[in-house]
Amino acid sequence: MSESCFWKPTPRQEAFLACGDPEALYGGAAGGGKTDALLIAALCLGHPSGGIKNPEYAALILRKSKPELKEIVERASVLYPVVSPAAQFLSSKFLWKFPSGARVEFDHVRNEQDAQRFKGRAWNFIGFDELTLFDEATFRMVSTRCRSPNSELPTFIRATTNPDGPGQSWVMRYFGIEEKGEAVRRQVAVEDLDRGVRRLRYQSFIPARLSDNPHLDSPDYRDKLLSLPEDQRDALFHGRWVIQMPDGAYYEHALKKIDREGRIRDVPYEPQAPVNTFWDIGYSDCTAIWFHQSVAGEHRFLDCYEASGESLEHYAKVLQSRGYNLGGVHYLPHDAGNHSLQTGRSHVDMLRTMMPGLRFDIVPRVNDLLTGINQTRLKLEGNVFFDREKTAQGVEALRWYRKKQNSDQSSFLASPVRDQHTHLADAFRQWGQVDQIGHRTSNTRLRKARISAMAV
């Protein structure tokens, strides 16, 4: 059955459905028909393989959490029986099974660790609904499951989103989206060193706005969007990708100033200047590292790195593989000096043994977390630069490092949200807590920060 028999796409939806690139993102402003576009795209009706008419066809559609699946599953129950009246929904598995044996599954994935349960699985179509709610590591991990031994079947990654959410920065970078939110199709080179070849892949961003969808473009809905605060109106009505900050963001003022002054840019590495690193060491989760140089009175953040489930040897190799002049100081959090009951050694001892030529120091513990956060806010007001590409994940973490709210969201609590942004934010705080590189934090500055922290 053709799409026109049961569902007529808008021109923008049609462009998304017809896109043959391996990766495509659809959306932007509210009301563009994102959910329907993703559900129909998952059927691959117009593909030469036959899509859901092929018994080997398998698709997966994801949301960030299980409760968020409800709306898209309900919409599928309207569309899919019309496409294929004999299709069956297996509610216990959140799976639509079609007469050919093809299947479309619905699931949720919270983070990279949660994505490990997809190991060994394979789908030739994977769709992410509201992509900016996912972190980049989760997206990349799940995307490796998009594969098929049948070369006739497509291997498509498809996603929809609005231009907001905690993953906004990485999605813009990944798909090459500019602030205006205009369409993008770009080449991405993949170097296969084992086979000695260089392949080109294509990624597309297909924007859509309310005006592109006559089914929703009513005066009432337009008025609702036009009545939003300016930043939300820019995103949800105009489809602009202006970087937004969440309520309660600790570093909002400093980062907005850094944005305005263009200090997130290409930051050159100076080989003659030593590189310092600032760490947050996870004992059962993520470890994060920032790479920093002090040059001409400027704090330059060149790079950052985060991983989970890896040994200290892994992070030692990361430092050495970057090719930086590591003659600076490598700052570890206060608990890196604690001795393990199992080994009798501390993390700082082990790193000094692995890399005997480097200097590892422990940043003194502050009395409370808010003191350290406030020290970092004060220091961010200085001459600080971030590399646009290499620190993008870290800058996103700083933007989304924010205060907890109470259960009814009416007031803020005196502690930060702990989520996927925490580790890079905590590593960055080690920089904030060091008064001068190579020196201990001064008591005077600590006292000032404690006084100011009362207003955090």
Q: What is the pLDDT along the chain (456 residues), one digit of tens a residue?
A: 344 446 788 889 999 999 999 999 998 777 778 999 999 999 998 898 888 999 999 999 999 988 889 889 999 999 999 888 999 999 888 999 999 999 999 999 988 888 889 988 999 999 999 999 998 889 999 999 999 888 889 899 999 998 888 888 889 989 999 888 899 999 888 888 888 888 888 999 999 887 777 777 677 878 888 888 877 787 777 778 887 778 899 999 999 899 889 899 999 999 999 999 999 998 777 899 999 999 999 999 999 999 888 899 999 999 999 999 999 999 999 999 888 767 778 999 999 999 999 999 999 988 889 999 999 999 999 999 999 889 988 999 999 999 998 877 778 888 899 988 899 999 999 999 997 665 544 444 444 444 344 344
Q: Which of 165, 385, 388 is nearest to 254 (CA)?
A: 385
Q: Identify whether residues 88 and 219 lie together within a single domain.
A: yes
Q: Identify whether residues 232 and 262 lie together within a single domain.
A: no
**CATH number assigned to the domain comprising residue 155:** 3.40.50.300
- Within-domain flag for 245: no
**H/E run at residue 99:** none
The residues near 445 (Cβ < 8 Å, ≥ 6 apart) are 375, 435
Q: How far apart are CA 324 and CA 321, in angstroms?
A: 8
**CATH number assigned to the domain comprising residue 436:** 3.30.420.240
3-state helix, strand, coil split of the chain in percent (to 5) is: 35, 25, 40
In the structure encoding, which two tokens stand for residue 442, read together? Answer: 């001064």
Query: Which residue type, as a one-letter code, is found at position 335?
Result: D
Q: Which of 168, 177, 167, 188 is nearest to 21 (CA)?
A: 188
Q: Identify whether residues 267 and 203 lie together within a single domain.
A: no
Query: Which conformational region is residue 297 in: left (phi greater than 0), alpha (psi within -120 to 50 degrees), or beta?
Result: left
Residue 84 contacts residue 3 (beta carbons within 8 Å): no
Q: Identify whether residues 209 and 125 lie together within a single domain.
A: yes
- Within-domain flag for 441: yes
- Domain boundary at 203, 236, 269, which? 236
Q: How far apart are CA 435 and CA 445, in angstroms?
A: 8
Domain of residue 45 covers 3-236
Strand partners, 105: 60, 95
Q: Identify whether residues 225 and 262 lie together within a single domain.
A: no
Q: How many distinct structural domains can be found in the chain?
A: 2
Q: Which of 393, 421, 385, 375 is nearest to 292 (CA)?
A: 385
- Within-domain flag for 246: no
Q: Identify whether residues 269 and 409 lie together within a single domain.
A: yes
Handedness of CA 349, 355, 360, 365 (dihedral sign): negative
In the structure encoding, which two tokens stand for residue 171, read together? Answer: 């999605």
Residue 427 contacts residue 276 (beta carbons within 8 Å): no
- Within-domain flag for 243: no
Q: Identify whether residues 64 and 110 lie together within a single domain.
A: yes
Phi, psi at residue 262, to the nearest 5°? Answer: 70, 35
Q: Identify whether residues 340 and 299 lie together within a single domain.
A: yes
Q: Identify whether residues 100 and 188 lie together within a single domain.
A: yes
